[in-house]
Amino acid sequence: MVTRNGLRVSFKAQMLQAREEAIIQTVNHLLASKGFEAMTVDEVAADVGIAKASLYKHFPSKEDLAAAAMVSVMRRAQAFLDSLAEEAAPMDNLRAVVAWTMGLKLAGEMPSLPSQNSSLRAALISNADYMDGLIEINDRLGAWIEAAQKQGSLNPKLPAIAVLYTLYARACDPVLEFLKMSELHSDKEIIELVMSTCFEGLNTRPG
């Protein structure tokens, strides 16, 4: 046995945890590449290398599988926000968050957002871990947006929620994939290009 947070963890428990992490990682990539509707439980089980019945012992439904992957990404986002310097300018933090989400998208690690009528959307709304994380992230980003508007770094005439959703949209922006398919730019260059259109706009600036 090994210890975790002062508690003894059996080898079996470690193996189950490792399997769940492998399942979530697989689901995450499938959600990013295919979306929830096209993903099947059969291909998740096949990719992980376990029987479908064994998969259901961990996650009883396709919705539970996808929700677990979304919660995993939400926790990664919370950890990234925690890593940002508290004394940094609000605009710098917003730019860092957007760049980070686009990096996940280009790496195939950002799940596609569920459609309005998706059964996954209903599952996420009823998932306390997901909703608590979403509310926390919304609050933190919203505070940075309002602070940046007060400092004149963001257009104060725009409703903060409109800015928030615009920044969220970069996490599923198809422009990233189109530019990657062109093979004309590196991932870093693609992020810089889309960041420029997002924060500086398309208008020519004087000087």
pLDDT at 12: 74
DSSP summary character for residue 158: S
pLDDT band at 89 (very low <50, low <70, confident <90, very high): very high
Has residue 162 been placed in a domain? yes
- CA 46, 115, 139, 144 dihedral sign is positive
CATH code for the domain of 81? 1.10.357.10
Cα-Cα-Cα-Cα torsion 99, 185, 114, 59, nearest 10 degrees, comes to: -90
pLDDT band at 166 (very low <50, low <70, confident <90, very high): very high
Helix (H, G, I), strand (E, B) or coil at 4: strand
The pLDDT of residue 75 is above 90 = yes
How confident is the model over 112-147, as pLDDT tens digits? 766 666 788 888 888 999 999 999 999 999 999 999
Has residue 38 been placed in a domain? yes
The C-alpha atoms of residue 173 and residue 144 are separated, in whole angstroms, by 22
pLDDT at 142: 96
Has residue 186 been placed in a domain? yes
Residue 179: name the closest of 100, 102, 111 by CA.
102
Has residue 204 been placed in a domain? no
Residue 128: name the closest of 81, 172, 70 by CA.
70
Helix (H, G, I), strand (E, B) or coil at 156: coil
How many residues are listed for the chain in this entry?
207
The C-alpha atoms of residue 134 and residue 77 are separated, in whole angstroms, by 10
The pLDDT of residue 168 is above 60 = yes
Has residue 207 been placed in a domain? no
% pLDDT > 70, the chain:
91
Range of the domain at 140: 2-199
% pLDDT > 90, the chain:
61
The pLDDT of residue 41 is above 90 = yes
Q: Rounded mean pLDDT of 11-36? A: 86
pLDDT at 2: 47
Q: What is the total count of domains within the chain? A: 1
The C-alpha atoms of residue 141 and residue 93 are separated, in whole angstroms, by 9
- For 14-77, give the DSSP string: HHHHHHHHHHHHHHHHHHHHT-TTT--HHHHHHHHTS-HHHHHHH-SSHHHHHHHHHHHHHHHH
Q: For the chain, give the mean pLDDT.
A: 88
Which tokens in the block code for residue 152?
């004149």
Has residue 84 been placed in a domain? yes
